[in-house]
Structures are given as structure tokens and as C-alpha cells.
Amino acid sequence: MTTESTMTQSPARARPARSVLAGVAAFGALGAYVLVSSVGLGLWTSLGPGPGLFPFAMGAVLASMSVLWLLQELRRPSAAGEKADGGLVLAVVVSLVLLAALLDLLGFQLSMFLFLMYHLKIRGKRGWLSALLTALAGSVGAFYAFNYGLNVALPVSSIPVLNLIGL
């Protein structure tokens, strides 16, 4: 084998993993579903943006990112990943289910604050000050940004005492 023949040989081309392609297809399908569904809600009304405009934008971003991800994987497949931490996946899924179940009872601010504190302090082992500030910004800050900035009503607590203090 000569030097020239080794330089002209192309290395074995790696292919994207099936699990990665399945992830790309799932996100692409979700993006397409959100795009189609949001058109039915109305993208624009006589008063301004319609209820489907924000989901339409998010669906477009999701579908576009899926296409970019696919192109990136076809061009340079990512290395085989490590096995997922089952405990972490279970903790995230259970905490999301609890968050969804507690939203109407405790309200968005308190439920999201507890969710974020659990993930930042206990799971992420962040410092108290960092976890507290991030959880406050993600719960109270997001509540006020959506309620007063975007006029999107987030759930408040159904417990009278919590509702009276603005939670």
C-alpha cells in the first residue's frame, strides 16, 4: 500500500444512531403537529396576535431545530452516548407529574418554586443562595412576566389563605 492509496481512501463513514434518528423524527413530528394545530386557533385577530401565534412560533422553532439536528447528525454523527441515569429520569418525570397535579391547588408560583428548589438544591446540589434566587426568578418572576407582561393568566392557588397573599 502506497502513501497515495492510504490518503485517497475515505474512512468508514459513520451513520447516525437509530435512537438519535428516532429523537429527531419525534421532535420533527411534534413540531409539525403544533404548527398545524396552532393555525386552527387563529394566528392573528383584528385586535392583534391571536391565540395560535405563540404556539405556531414554537412549532416553527421546534421543526426547524429538528431539521438542523438531522443535518448535523448526517454530516457528523454524534458519538455513542452513555447510558441514561434511570434515577434522574424517574425523578424528573415524577416531579413533573407532581407539578402538574399541584398547579391548581397551590398555584403556579408556589408549585414552580418547590419544583425548582427540588431540582436546583437537592438534585443539582447548588448553593442555597443560587437555588433560592433562581427558583424565585423562575416562579414569581415568570408569574408576573406572563400575567402582566403577556396578559396570560397562570393558575393561582385554590386555597383561600394562599390566594389572599397573592399566591
Q: What is the pLDDT of residues 32-84, one digit of tens each?
A: 999 999 999 999 888 888 889 999 999 999 999 999 999 999 998 887 666 77
164: confidence class by pLDDT, cuts 50, 70, 90: confident
Contact 84/113 with Cβ under 8 angstroms? no
Higher pLDDT, 6 or 61: 61
CB-neighbour burial class of residue 107 (10 A; exposed 0-12, middle 13-18, buried 19+): buried
Distance CA 16, CA 80 (A): 9
Nearest to 61 by CA among 86, 91, 31: 31
φ, ψ (nearest 5 deg) of residue 21: -65, -35
What number is the average pLDDT over the span 132-140?
Answer: 95
Supply 18's cell numbers. 437509530
Q: Residues 5-9: what's their mean pLDDT?
A: 48
Which pLDDT score is estimated for 6? 47
Residue 140: name the closest of 100, 111, 103 by CA: 111
For residue 89, is pLDDT > 70? yes
- Can you tell me which residue has the cell 418554586? 113
Taking only the tens place, the pLDDT of each residue in 112-126 is: 999 999 999 999 999
The one-letter amino acid code at 86 reads G
Contacts 24+ apart (CB under 8 A), 156-162: 156/107, 156/108, 157/105, 157/106, 157/107, 157/110, 158/104, 158/105, 158/107, 159/105, 159/106, 162/106, 162/107, 162/110
- pLDDT digit string, tens, across residues 95-104: 999 999 999 9
Distance of CA 122 to the CA centre of its chain: 20
State the average pLDDT over residues 115-140.
95
Report the pLDDT value the prediction gives residue 81, as an integer from 0 to 100: 65
